[in-house]
Structure 1
Amino acid sequence: MPISFGFRPRDGDAAESCERSLVGACLVGQLRCGLAVVALTTGLAGCSQSGSSAGVSESDIVETTVPKVEVIRAADHLWPLTARIQGSLVGDEQAQIGARVAGRVESVTVDLGSRVATGDILAVLDQNEFALKVRLAQARVAQTRAALGLSEGQTRDDLAVDQVPSVRQEKALLDEAKALYDRSVTLAARNAITPEEFRRFEAQYQVARARHAAAINQVEELLAQYEGALADFDLARQEQADSIVRAPFDGIVAERFVAPGIYLAEGRPVVTLVRVDPLRYRAGVPERLAMNVALGQEVRIFLEGRDTPLIAQVTRISPSLDVLSRSLTIEADLPNPEGAYRAGLFAEAEIVIDPQARAVVLPAQAVSDFAGVEKVWMVQDGQAVGRPIQTGRREGHLVEIVSGLQVGDLVLAKAREGRGGPVQAVIAPAESSAPAVAAEPPARPPVQPRSAGVIIN
């Protein structure tokens, strides 16, 4: 059959075109025959050499073609059950410290970040007005003491009402009027005085009794005024003391609101004070695990920039769940004597719910993850087969197998070497086949995708 070179010959060149086609076909045929002869010669030489070699069985050929792979056996290991939560560090105490009295600010002794101890001065109000109030109240106390006849150092318990000068005077007049009245009674019985004179002595006696009672009432009134004056004096001194704003507890100033010269209204805050030793780690536990949380459980707190966790214990548990988040609020005290940790820091944590829980654990290199699908290469009857699995918590180079494997299953030690087909299994060294869960707290877990809220493993 003529070979066409992609163009049509003209009528005048028909003979020349046919000749060229025949020559091309002959050259292609000779080339194909030469290649066939070479292939046949090579095959015969290979067969001759194979036949002349020492006897090699078919099984030997299979063994050299089946790859050897290291395998490990899925085993049950100690893997404490934990709940991973998210929360923040908050101050043990945080309060806005305000002035209990109004006045002009004279000085402020602290600023942002200042460390204070209980009783340290935070701010001072103008003292002139408060000093005048104390002096006025003290003068009123002295006035009532003088009216009652109390000397310096005496109290109300030292006062006898009948010994007050005014009462003693009226008592003397009463005794005299009573004596005259008693005598007039005797004289009237003897008709020695007229009825008018008797009635006059009787009236004098009644007036003396009334004046004596009035004197006693006046003393009682003075005593009440004395108590009021003492209370006013104590109140004035209290206001003078309150004009100096002091720290109610040890802490650090988180915010300052006033400056010298401004008028401070009663109750207006001066500073925000935070106690940072200890700090409280506050977080929410999901409803499905709320019944498993108890006081005293270990909490591993992971802070950003710190590789090892901080160890604390659950110290407080809310009596009820949050209605919106359906989570149970817990707190753990975190000692902070040097002030190295700051209130407000975000932190992840793990609550050790069951320290004796066990699980199937494999090295992370035995698990492959592609396009969101996790699997291991399982070896059964000399065949490597991909097995989808579901993993759980990761700690260091270990990963928990939640489903897809059973204790005793053989899997490839290195998932990247996995492929389907026949394999020759070789048990990996002991350190690879029997991973141990460290007794010490694990390092910070790798960041994993999260939805929102609390992550539980």
Structure 2
Amino acid sequence: MIAFIGNQISEKHMNKRIKWGIILTIGIGLSGLGIYQFTPHENEELTAADALPRENKSKTLKVNAQVITPHLLTDEILVTGRLVPDEEVNLSFETSGKITDIFFTEGSSVKRGELLAKVNDRQLQAQLKRLEAQIPLAEDRVFRQNALLQRDAVSKEAYEQVKTELATLNADIENIKASIDMTELRAPFDGIIGLRQVSVGAYASPTTVVAKLTKVSPLKVEFAVPERYAREIKKGMNLDFRVEGRLNAYPAQVYATESSLDMETHSLNIRAIYPNRNGELLPGRYADIQLKQKEIADAIAIPSEAIVPEMGKNKVFVYRNGVAEPTDVVVGIRTESEIQIVQGLAIGDTILTSGTLQLRKGMPVEIQALN
């Protein structure tokens, strides 16, 4: 019993030592943590930030630039037009009748006045023969009446009557001949005749299209320019045009302009002439037309993408001492890819041609490509 009680006391004493040991350990740990919190030490995030390159704190923009040099600037207008024939007509008869003959070959060249087709004229030919048969008798009457008049054997009125009858007969013959001419279809000008739309034996009327005749030499170049250029286009102005599939440019010359602007498009319609002597080009094709207005020597011209519109003004960023500096400019003529600068820039200035929307005054820039 005494031994049991001793063991219990011994166990209690050991448990108390363990508890105090745990409490002591926890206390030491908390003390160490407090000392660590209040002890100065290195901040890894700040250290990493300090280690970053200085340019990341003040961002440098990589841009393209161009050194301004004087060069020849051509003021030109670029528009799209089309080639049209010098003359073109749908061929048809002036009278009605059955087609008896077709003399042309489709797609061939014909000359002015060449007989192309004919309708039935047998009735008219018969009337012509009847009238022509009366001519000798009528002429003989006039001759005899004139001889009698010289001897005062007939009155002057009788002579004038037979003379009028002869004139009427001749007029009737001319009328029949004109009707016969209307049965013949002839080429009104030199050209190329297209596909025929009728056959022999078909009944034709003035509304029946037999074929189309086109004059392709010369060709007309038809186009329009915006109203701001209307007064600058003059008769005799030269131009060049290109067509798809051909590398070379073709010269033409303005020969006429419309008398007024188109009310819907506010543009001026213009026509130029191209000889097309060998018939190389066919009408109906689209053409890219280049009209040269004037040439400016030693002009200051910059790419259009370098211009930054702002508050009704135009500005350009210039490279100076590693930063972008804006400068106001006054622009002149515009071409397809360049804009003339008449005030604000000088020869030798380096302008920035990319990233213009991101640039700000004094912003550091790095030129990655210099033209």
Aligned pair 1:104/2:88, yes or no?
no
Q: In structure 2, what is the Cα distance between the partners aligned to 1:290 and 1:70?
A: 38
* Residues 380-411 of structure 1 deviation map (CA, whole Å, 9 limit, x = unaligned): 122246999999433xxx64466997233303
Is 1:85 the equivalent of 2:25?
no
Match of 1:407 among 340, 346, 349: 346
Say yes or no: does 1:114 pair with 2:56. Answer: no
Quick check: 2:306–2:351 contact (8 Å CA) kept in 1? no
Could you tell me how far apart the structure 1 residues matched to 2:63 and 2:265 are?
A: 49
Q: 1:252·1:275 contact (CA, 8 Å) conserved in 2?
A: yes
Correspondences of 1:320-399 after superposition (within 5 Å): 320-356=260-296, 359-362=299-302, 378-384=318-324, 392-394=334-336, 399=338
Tell me: CA distance 1:68–1:146, structure 2 relative to 1, closer, same or farther (3 Å). Answer: closer
Whole-Å separation in 2 of the counterparts to 1:326 and 1:413: 34
Deviation at residue 269 of structure 1 after TM alignment? 4.0
Match of 1:317 among 257, 272, 297: 257
Name the TM-score, length of structure 2 as normaliser: 0.67
Residues 405-440 of structure 1 deviation map (CA, whole Å, 9 limit, x = unaligned): 723330358889x99965677996xxx5xxxxxxxx
* 2:199 matches 1:259: yes
Offset from partner CA, 1:207-258 (integer Å, 9 cap, x none): xxxxx43xx3222111111111112223333333443311111112245343
**For residue 163 of structure 1, what is the amino acid of its counterpart?**
A
Report what 1:63 is aligned to: none
Classify 1:78/1:98 alpha carbon distance in 2 versus 1 (closer, same or farther; 3 Å).
same
CA distance in 2, matches of 1:310, 1:388: 41
The residue correspondences of 1:410-429 to structure 2 (distance < 5 A) are 410-411=350-351, 422=364
Once superposed, what is the RMSD of the aligned Cα atoms?
A: 4.5
Secondary structure at 1:75 match in 2: coil
Counterpart code for 2:218:
P
Give 2:77's aligned amino acid: A
Stretch deviating more after TM superposition (307-316 or 221-230): 307-316
How many residues matched?
317
Instruction: After TM superposition, give the deviation of residue 303 of structure 1 in Å.
Output: 2.0
- Return the letter of the residue paired with 1:103: G
Structure 1 residue 280 displacement after superposition: 0.7
- Which of 123, 127, 147 is residue 163 of structure 1 equivalent to? 147
Q: Distance in 2 between matches of 1:305 and 1:260?
A: 40
Tell me the equivalent position of 2:226: 286
Counterparts of 2:92 and 2:61, CA distance in 1: 79
Which one is further off, 231-240 or 326-335?
231-240
What SS class does the counterpart of residue 311 from structure 1 fall into? strand
CA–CA distance in structure 2, aligned partners of residues 142 and 98 of structure 1 = 37
Distance 1:392 1:254, change over 3 A: farther
Q: CA deviation at 1:368?
A: 11
Amino acid at match of 2:238: E
Q: What TM-score, normalized to structure 1? A: 0.56
* Aligned match of 2:119: 125
Please state how far the C-alpha of 1:82 moved relative to its aligned partner.
Answer: 2.0
| Residue ranges of structure 2 left out of the alignment (5+ in a row) | 1-21, 34-40, 45-59, 309-313
Corresponding residue of 1:158: none
Summarize the Cα distance change of 1:362–1:324 in structure 2 as closer, same or farther, 3 Å threshold: closer
**Are 2:240 and 1:300 equivalent residues in the alignment?**
yes
Name the aligned partner's letter for residue 265 of structure 2.
S
Distance 1:112 1:406 in 2: 64
SS for the counterpart of 1:321 is coil
How much has 1:68 moved relative to structure 2?
A: 11
Whichever residue aligns with residue 407 of structure 1, its letter is A
Counterpart CA distance in 1 for 2:232 and 2:221 is 19
User: Normalized per residue, which structure has more strand?
Assistant: 2
Deviation at 1:331, TM superposition (A): 1.0
Q: Give SS of 1:80's match.
A: strand
* Superposed displacement of residue 98, structure 1: 2.6
Identify unmatched segments of 5+ residues in structure 1. Answer: 1-17, 30-35, 40-65, 151-160, 172-211, 433-457
- The structure whose Rg is larger is 1
Q: 1:136 to 1:329 in 2, by over 3 A?
A: same
1:221 to 157, 161, 171: 161
SS in structure 1 opposite 2:229?
helix
8 Å contact kept, 2:241–2:251: yes
Q: Is the 8 A contact 2:191 2:214 kept in 1?
A: yes
Deviation, structure 1 residue 315: 1.3
Secondary structure of the equivalent of 1:225?
helix
- The residue that corresponds to 1:59 in the other structure is none
For 2:99, the aligned partner's letter is V
What SS does structure 2 have at the residue aligned with 1:145? Answer: helix
Give the Cα separation in 2 of the matches to 1:337 and 1:143: 55
C-alpha separation in 1, matches of 2:261 and 2:316: 40
Deviation per CA, 1:242-294, whole angstroms, max 9, x where unpaired?
43311111112245343211222247543321211111111222222211111
Aligned partners of 2:92 and 2:185 also within 8 Å? yes
Q: Do structure 1's residue 273 and structure 2's residue 216 form an aligned pair?
A: no
* 1:237 aligns to 2:177 (yes or no): yes
Paired with 1:344 and 1:74, the residues of 2 have a C-alpha distance of 44
